[in-house]
């Protein structure tokens, strides 16, 4: 048995060096240069955007940290002024509100790969506008902030940014900042991935800088060749300037009726939050699932069965609203990955020859050198092993799911672990989760990636609006479980919507129907994009 490890990131990935397709570069240049002759690109790379910018504006300036890339930019944009510098060292009060337009494709560099002193300088820019950078802050965020500050009143911003801007929690401050600093914001999204050999989903962020709150629109196109002209974008209608907070912008894919329905439901006095009913925590982080997650046959062959406990390692293992002992028996008969090596801290390897041999095999494969394992006192002892009352899917294909746990199993970090509050029965919570309001808000409050999967982190899950499950009788729970196991999701959804939302909480039927359409619209968009 071998325990493979993921490949190391490439040099291009470490410095965020993914370059812009020509069609996107031309579009951004048209947009940005349309506001005047003084334009800036804060991280010009090889000049893919700076070249078209310089063709359209008399005074184009590009900043680039890497000498070799700066030389490429000078060749691509011979009439531009390419300054070889750290952008955040170069950026000063003199550059604020100075430029007619700022455009570019900021580097996508994660916190741990971003070198000093550039990172500290960038974070100082964020702190200067009242933001609080963290270890989740990617390099593109301070580039967006500084670029926005550089645009004069009435000028234009045009950047390639990750689709994370629309939906991740750590970008909430960025969204709030942009709403305050701009009169108009447009996010252009793509049904197809537009960067070759890169799974990162991107949006084109366009802005007109005036005092906010900004009106917002989201425009979806097929691919880079389907972009409208800059003038056509400027003429498109915006969503009404509704209440602006740090909330996610996924809702702007909807029409006004859908947005209004979400706001009405959020403020409904009868709705709870999932955090009122349960606590959500991550599943077990093993450090190397290939070593710690075993099939029953592997555990028997290695003679380590007595050091294992039942495990749910895949969402496909979970059916209905309850995961029971008979479900676990089924997995064992299928020889699925359903056992966790859960060695307790008091076990002495010297007294267990089979376990000692298995640990040695892991060390021979370098398992102990992985980060999570290397920081443990005894690398083979996995921390935070406990059995949850219920499971909640972290990565969602069709709809959010909570599954009561009566099997004694735990889960890896692909599945969240749930603890009930105030004596609520887990199966009742699981059945109540099948409702149109919670489904719709999961699409808005979660985040999706290029593959079409929706992801909910614990804090996002705990914030989901939720009907009080206590109105469901045991026979109601059984009916929902039966329908889900039979693949009758719509029938189960109809049943819970009627039983909880309209009969018990007195929600208007038209509002519930609109929220059902919100879920279907955002789900179908996500899944269609994933298939493409």
SS3 track for 358-426: HHHHHHHCCHHHCHHHHCCCCCCCCCCCCCCCEEEECEECCCCCEEEECCCCEEECCEEEEEECCCCCH
* pLDDT band at residue 3 using 50, 70 and 90 as cut-offs: low
Please list, in sequence order, all residues whose beta carbon lies within 8 angstroms of the beta carbon of residue 502, skipping any fewer than 6 positions away: 508, 509, 512
Both tokens assigned to 409: 């199993």
Distance CA 374, CA 209 (A): 48
Length of the chain: 532
Strand-pair category, 202-208 with 151-162 = antiparallel
* Of 253, 270, 301, the domain-final residue: 253
Query: Would you state the pLDDT for residue 245?
Result: 52
Residue 342 lies in a domain: no
Residue 488 half-sphere exposure toward CB, CA atoms < 13 A: 11
Overall average pLDDT of the 46-74 stretch: 95
Query: Would you state the pLDDT for residue 233?
Result: 82
Q: Is the pLDDT of residue 12 over 60?
A: no
293 backbone dihedrals φ, ψ, rounded to 5°: -100, 125
Task: Assess contact for 155 and 99: CB atoms under 8 A.
Answer: yes
Query: Would you state the pLDDT for residue 325?
Result: 95
Q: Is the pLDDT of residue 199 over 70?
A: no
Task: Assess contact for 212 and 179: CB atoms under 8 A.
Answer: yes
Task: Assess contact for 77 and 46: CB atoms under 8 A.
Answer: no
Clarify whether residues 40 and 189 are in a common domain: yes
List strands edge to edge, sheet with 447-448: 395-396, 454-455, 447-448
Q: How many CB atoms within 10 Å of residue 12?
A: 11
Residue 109 lies in a domain: yes
Residue 264 lies in a domain: no
Residue 12 lies in a domain: no
Task: Assess contact for 70 and 64: CB atoms under 8 A.
Answer: yes
Using DSSP, state whether 446 is helix, strand or coil: coil
Q: How many CB atoms within 10 Å of residue 285?
A: 13
CATH number at residue 63: 3.40.50.150
Task: Assess contact for 145 and 125: CB atoms under 8 A.
Answer: yes
| Structural domain containing residue 175 | 19-253
Listed residue (396, 432, 383) closest to 318, CA to CA: 396
Residue 413 lies in a domain: yes
Task: Assess contact for 384 and 446: CB atoms under 8 A.
Answer: no
Percent over 70 (pLDDT), the chain: 92
Listed residue (397, 447, 399) closest to 166, CA to CA: 447
Q: Is the pLDDT of residue 201 over 70?
A: yes
Residue with tokens 């993921």: 6
Residue 292 lies in a domain: no
Overall average pLDDT of the 491-502 stretch: 96
Least confident of 149-163, 412-426, 427-441, 444-458: 444-458
Task: Assess contact for 68 and 47: CB atoms under 8 A.
Answer: no
Contacts 24+ apart (CB under 8 A), 223-230: 223/190, 223/191, 223/192, 223/194, 224/21, 224/23, 224/24, 224/27, 224/190, 224/194, 225/23, 227/23, 227/24, 227/27, 227/188, 229/30, 230/27, 230/30, 230/31, 230/34
Overall average pLDDT of the 186-207 stretch: 77
- DSSP-based helix, strand, coil % in the chain, nearest 5: 45, 20, 40
DSSP string covering 498-526: IIIIITTS---HHHHHHHHHHHHHHHHHH
The pTM of this model reads 0.73
Query: Would you state the pLDDT for residue 196?
Result: 57
* pLDDT band at residue 10 using 50, 70 and 90 as cut-offs: very low
Both tokens assigned to 71: 């030389």
* pLDDT band at residue 253 using 50, 70 and 90 as cut-offs: confident
Overall average pLDDT of the 440-467 stretch: 88
Residue with tokens 């109601």: 476
Q: Residues 109-152: pLDDT tens digits?
A: 877 778 889 889 999 999 999 999 888 888 999 999 999 999 99
Task: Assess contact for 144 and 159: CB atoms under 8 A.
Answer: yes
Distance CA 431, CA 477 (A): 6
Residue 265 lies in a domain: no
Q: Residues 216-243: pLDDT tens digits?
A: 888 888 888 888 888 888 787 766 544 5
Residue 317 lies in a domain: no
Distance CA 138, CA 162 (A): 10
Listed residue (435, 431, 426, 434) closest to 404, CA to CA: 426
Quote the number of domains for the chain.
2
Query: Would you state the pLDDT for residue 13?
Result: 42
Query: Would you state the pLDDT for residue 171?
Result: 81
């Amino acid at each position: 048995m071998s325990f493979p490890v993921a490949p190391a990131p490439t040099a291009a990935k470490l410095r965020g060096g993914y370059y812009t397709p020509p069609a996107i570069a031309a579009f951004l240049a048209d947009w940005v240069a349309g506001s005047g002759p003084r334009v800036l690109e804060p991280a010009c790379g090889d000049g893919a955007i700076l070249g078209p910018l310089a063709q359209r504006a008399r005074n184009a300036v590009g900043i680039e940290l890497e000498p070799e890339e700066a030389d490429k930019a000078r060749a691509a944009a011979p009439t531009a002024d390419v300054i070889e510098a750290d952008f955040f060292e170069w950026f000063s009060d003199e550059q604020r509100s100075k430029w007619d337009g700022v455009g570019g494709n900021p580097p996508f560099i994660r916190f741990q790969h971003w070198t000093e002193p550039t990172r500290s300088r960038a974070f100082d820019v964020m702190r200067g506008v009242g933001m609080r950078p963290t270890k989740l802050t990617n390099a593109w965020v301070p580039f967006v902030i500084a670029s926005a500050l550089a645009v004069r009143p009435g000028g234009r911003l045009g950047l390639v940014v990750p689709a994370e801007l629309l939906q991740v929690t750590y970008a909430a401050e960025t969204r709030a900042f942009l709403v305050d600093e701009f009169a108009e914001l447009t996010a252009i999204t793509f049904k197809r991935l537009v960067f070759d050999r890169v799974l990162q989903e991107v949006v084109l962020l366009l802005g007109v800088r005036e005092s906010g709150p900004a009106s917002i629109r989201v425009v979806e196109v097929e691919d880079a060749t389907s972009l409208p002209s800059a003038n056509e974008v400027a003429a498109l209608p915006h969503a009404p300037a509704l209440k602006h907070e740090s909330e996610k912008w996924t809702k702007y894919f909807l029409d006004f009726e859908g947005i209004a329905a979400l706001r009405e439901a959020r403020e409904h006095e009868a709705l709870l939050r999932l955090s009122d009913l349960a606590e959500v925590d991550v599943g077990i982080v093993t450090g190397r699932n290939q070593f710690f997650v075993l099939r029953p046959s592997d555990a028997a062959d290695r003679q380590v069965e007595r050091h294992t406990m039942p495990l749910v390692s895949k969402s496909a293992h979970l059916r209905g609203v309850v995961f029971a002992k008979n479900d676990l028996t089924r997995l064992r008969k299928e020889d699925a990955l359903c056992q966790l090596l859960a060695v307790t801290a008091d076990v002495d390897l010297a007294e267990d020859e089979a376990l000692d041999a298995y640990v040695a095999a892991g060390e021979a494969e370098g398992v102990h050198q992985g980060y999570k394992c290397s920081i443990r006192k005894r690398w083979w002892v996995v921390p935070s092993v406990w059995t949850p009352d219920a499971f909640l899917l972290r990565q969602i294909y069709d709809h959010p799911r909570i599954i009561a746990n009566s099997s004694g199993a735990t889960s890896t970090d692909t599945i969240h672990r749930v603890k009930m509050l105030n004596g609520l029965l887990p199966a009742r919570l699981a059945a109540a989760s099948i409702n149109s309001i919670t489904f719709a808000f999961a699409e808005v409050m979660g985040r999706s990636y290029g593959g079409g999967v929706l992801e909910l982190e614990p804090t996002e899950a705990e914030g989901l609006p939720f009907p009080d499950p206590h109105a469901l009788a045991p026979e109601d729970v059984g009916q929902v479980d039966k329908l889900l196991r039979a693949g009758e999701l719509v029938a189960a959804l109809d049943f819970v919507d009627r039983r909880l939302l309209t009969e018990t909480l007195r929600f208007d039927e038209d509002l519930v129907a609109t929220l059902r359409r919100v879920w279907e619209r955002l789900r179908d968009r996500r899944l269609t994009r994933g298939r493409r």
